[in-house]
Amino acid sequence: MTDWSNHFSQHARRAIPSAIRSLSEFPRATDSIPFGPGEPDASLFPVALMREALDAILTDETSARSALQYGPSEGDPMLRRLVAEHMNKRGVACAPDNILLTNGAQQALNLASEVFVDPDDTVLVQVPTYPGALQVFLAHGARLADVTKADAATRPALIYAMANFQNPTGISLSVEQRRELVTLAHRLDTVLVEDDPYEVLRFDGDALPSLLALDTETRSIEEAHTLYLGTFSKSVAPGLRVGWAAGPRVLIEKMGLLKQTEDLQPNSLAQAGLVRLLEHGLEPFAARVQAAYRIRRDIMAEALRQHFGNRGAWRVPQGGFFFWLTLPEHIDTAKLLEHAAKLGVTYVPGAAFTPDRSGANTLRLSFSAAAPERIAEGVRRLARAFDEYDQNG
Amino acid sequence: MTDWSNHFSQHARRAIPSAIRSLSEFPRATDSIPFGPGEPDASLFPVALMREALDAILTDETSARSALQYGPSEGDPMLRRLVAEHMNKRGVACAPDNILLTNGAQQALNLASEVFVDPDDTVLVQVPTYPGALQVFLAHGARLADVTKADAATRPALIYAMANFQNPTGISLSVEQRRELVTLAHRLDTVLVEDDPYEVLRFDGDALPSLLALDTETRSIEEAHTLYLGTFSKSVAPGLRVGWAAGPRVLIEKMGLLKQTEDLQPNSLAQAGLVRLLEHGLEPFAARVQAAYRIRRDIMAEALRQHFGNRGAWRVPQGGFFFWLTLPEHIDTAKLLEHAAKLGVTYVPGAAFTPDRSGANTLRLSFSAAAPERIAEGVRRLARAFDEYDQNG
């Protein structure tokens, strides 16, 4: 086998595998209960409606041809309009020109990083944070720093944050904390990338304004420093690979140019399917997934209370997919995972979510992928693994 | 509007718009005949078969869920196997592990460039060549040089070539020229990226071995220096955005890691649709488009002979989508396009295809998008535009 490693670019050398995706090779019991992956439950996908939508599109010759042909780099004009209307309802005055459609929010995040981050630039992140974002920033050669310790002396190339039901902590920022982030971005003269995949998954409490909504309260979107990332992966289905960025037109155009260079355009068929599916808005889909995941959140909250007792600390999230557990200092959750996997439950060790792999005594539990009737059993197994590990090391 | 340009990364500053896509804003007659875009004719898409395939997938609960869920970064295992079998039939011994599925061949090209090209590296290209490749290499900061003038003193980061019905010249390389390219890549210790989008569109003559097939005649694919890029955009439909790279596993894995970072994975639904559509192979689809485009090629060849006479020089391509015209030295085809557009025909000026914007007296005519019954009229209009321009300047 030829050794190519000496010929790899700096970018290729910096790229690292996902700390989460590599867990999929972990040995585990056959009836394992998956609290690891943050993927939606496929039984909630609107399969029948999607079938009808695609059938209608492919039955009409004109719509069929356009759903299978090349399209604009920035995405289907009708879907851009629908997304702009969605953002309008969320308090963001914007036009279709302020929307770029992408292959999921991940591509929007990568494009934003590509537009702003040069090697050795600083990127401010919440700690812990989404590993897929760490992968992106590290591939671009960024130095990562904790946004709560922002040093006014260095202008960061980018600030990355989730305001709603953050991955992995499940925590939402207060309105005041949100305002502080927006103010920080303006003060440091940088872009604030707001990743909001779980927005539709609020179970309790009133919706809070997005960072972009706050940023545009007193100024036009063209003057905003926030770039909002959204996705249909949680409300409809991730396999469609459709997400979006919303922000100042000059940034949307630059990201669109890079998207054109990198893969020409988003998938036409999936976009056409979404346009038809969302004829009556996103709300019915949001309501459906909210109700289903709320039940799971409640089951996991109760199971943790019952089986985990005072072994660790956690907060019940108001939405999203995740509980974040902090265990006693002497517990290494990477080692605990070996016990847990043998007992038939998996999760993601907390070190996967930190730039310096700290947080060895933390872990993320996802309630999105496990069947509701299995969640309590999964937590029971985890508590048993904890006891085994704590007693025998 | 905030001015972000000072904050853009080096990468973002280097990115340039497509010389072809920007032509779409050119003023033109309303009944204009499009010899510009290299997009397939949508009336040839297998719409009914795709509707049946998607309907079957979304009727079965198991296949529906998986077609809408997250999947492997490298692509659907069944489609990787089908593509590997396709490559086997074309004389390339390879396994599914040697295949990466991407958002069209464009993403595969971008990933390959990302893996190998650092700023100021040299990339060797055919001149003229596909503008979308120039966009990619320039965004990565490459210095472009003509592969026929390869300088053995500098190791290029990458060689980019089309062996079949090249875009824009329509020329195919002889087996001897192909062997020379493969030898050059090994001699210069670099990767040869073989872009082969038009492979299924051979109208005359016998198929010639791909660069990768030649490279693997005497060595295993793991020792090859060729990375092959293929696509379903010409044989099935481009809106699906499914293409692939085939090559040594170590390169496929590195590109797959970057793909994971950049957009997680290919579109699940389109991949599932293709798996079902291609149950009986790609051949029926290839035969259909071959027959349809051969007719157009013949019409354009005859119309050029009849209406264009000795105004310029061209060769009749054995396949693909394009005629390449060389006009007398004093003709500027960018200026000629203004006349042509007013008379109701468009094309792409040749300078769009060269790194230094040379070739002002050349142009590309595509016969893929214009209706067959309009092709002769389009060439007649072009000849008239030529006469007008030549007489009045």
A39 to chain B, any CB pair closer than 8 A? The answer is yes
Residues A6-20 as b or e (16 or more Cβ within 10 Å = b): ebbbebbebbeebbb
Summarised one tens digit per residue, pLDDT across range A176-196 is 999 999 999 999 999 999 999
pLDDT confidence of residue B16:
87
Q: Over the stretch B307-347, which tens digit does the pLDDT of each residue have?
A: 998 889 999 999 999 999 999 999 999 999 999 999 999 99
Where residue A25 falls among pLDDT bands split at 50, 70, 90? low
Q: Which residues of B touch A55 (CB under 8 A)?
A: 51, 54-55
Calpha distance B234→B44 (Å, rounded): 10
Inter-residue contact A44 to A291 (CB < 8 Å): no
Return residues 90-109 of B near A (CB < 8 Å).
Answer: 102-104, 106-107
CATH 3.30.365.10 is held by the domain B16-38+284-392: no
Residue span(s) of chain B under CATH 3.90.1150.10 come to 16-38+284-392
Contact residues, chain A, for B17 at CB < 8 Å: 257, 260
Q: Does B229 touch chain A (CB under 8 A)?
A: no
List, for residues A223-273, the tens digit of each pLDDT value: 999 999 999 999 999 999 999 999 999 999 999 999 999 999 999 999 999
Q: Is the bond preceding B37 in cis, omega lying within 30 degrees of 0?
A: no
Tracing tokens 């590599």 back to the chain, one arrives at: A22
pLDDT band at B25 (very low <50, low <70, confident <90, very high): low
Give me the total of CB pairs closer than 8 Å, taking one residue from chain A and one from chain B: 269
Whether the Cβ atoms of residue A338 and residue A393 lie closer than 8 Å to each other: no
Residue B28 pLDDT: 61
Q: In sequence order, which ranges of B194-314 are alpha helices (DSSP H)?
A: 211-215, 249-263, 268-277, 283-303
Distance CA A260, CA B18 (A): 8
Confidence bin at B152 (pLDDT 50/70/90): confident
Residues B126-139 have a mean pLDDT of: 97
Is the pLDDT at A42 greater than 80, yes or no? yes
Section B252-260 average pLDDT:
97
- Per-residue pLDDT of B36-48, as tens digits, reads 989 999 999 999 9
Q: Which residues of B touch A68 (CB under 8 A)?
A: 42, 45, 47, 50, 237-240
Chain region(s) in chain B for CATH 3.40.640.10: 48-280
Whether the pLDDT of residue A299 is over 70: the answer is: yes
| Residues near A189 by beta carbon (within 8 Å), at least 6 away in sequence | A155, B7
Helix (H) or strand (E) holding A252: helix A249-263
Q: Where are the alpha helices (DSSP H) in chain B?
A: 10-14, 47-59, 61-68, 77-89, 104-116, 131-139, 175-187, 211-215, 249-263, 268-277, 283-303, 333-343, 372-392
- Please report the pLDDT score of residue B300 as a whole number: 98
The single residue listed with the structure tokens 């038939």 is: A344
**Torsion angle of the four alpha carbons A46, B265, A86, A288, in this order, in degrees rounded to the nearest 10:** 30
- Chain A contact probe: residue of B63, B70, B258 with most A CBs at under 10 A: B70
| Of B64, B238, B257, Cβ closest to residue A17 | B257
- On whether the CB atoms of residues A136 and A113 are closer than 8 A, the answer is yes
Identify the weakest region by mean pLDDT among A26-35, A56-65, A292-301, B380-389. A26-35
Q: Is the pLDDT of residue B391 over 90?
A: no
Please choose, from the candidates B59, B70, B87, the residue with its C-alpha nearest in 3D space to the C-alpha of residue B199. Answer: B87
What's the whole-number mean pLDDT along residues A35-59?
96
Domain A47-281 has CATH 3.40.640.10: yes
Sign for the CA dihedral angle at A167, A170, A174, A175 comes to positive
- A156 near B CB under 8 A: no
**pLDDT tens for each residue of B178-236:** 999 999 999 999 999 999 999 999 999 999 999 999 999 999 999 999 999 999 999 99
Q: In chain A, what percentage of residues exceed pLDDT 70? A: 97
pLDDT at A123: 98
Q: Which residues of A touch B40 (CB under 8 A)?
A: 69
pLDDT at position B31: 86
* A34 interfacial to chain B (CB closer than 8 Å): no
**DSSP code, position B118:** P
Residue B51 has pLDDT above 80, yes or no: yes
Spell out which residues of chain B touch residue A224, defining contact as CB-CB under 8 Å.
2
User: Quick check: B12 and A114 in contact, CB under 8 A?
Assistant: yes
Architecture of domain A9-46+284-392: Alpha-Beta Complex (3.90)
Contacts of B222 (CB under 8 A, 6+ apart): A1, A2, B248, B249, B250
DSSP A47-107: HHHHHHHHHHHHHSHHHHHHHHS---TT--HHHHHHHHHHHHHTT----GGGEEEESHHHH
Beta bridge partners of B227: B193
- Domain B48-280: top CATH class: alpha beta
- The sign of the torsion formed by the CA atoms of A47, A48, A49, A54 equals positive
Predicted pLDDT at B153: 78
Residue ranges of A 231-260 with Cβ closer than 8 A to chain B: 237-241, 248-251, 254, 257-258, 260
A263, A271, A368: best to mutate for the B interface, most B CBs within 10 A: A263
Q: Mean pLDDT, to the nearest integer, of B375-385?
A: 97
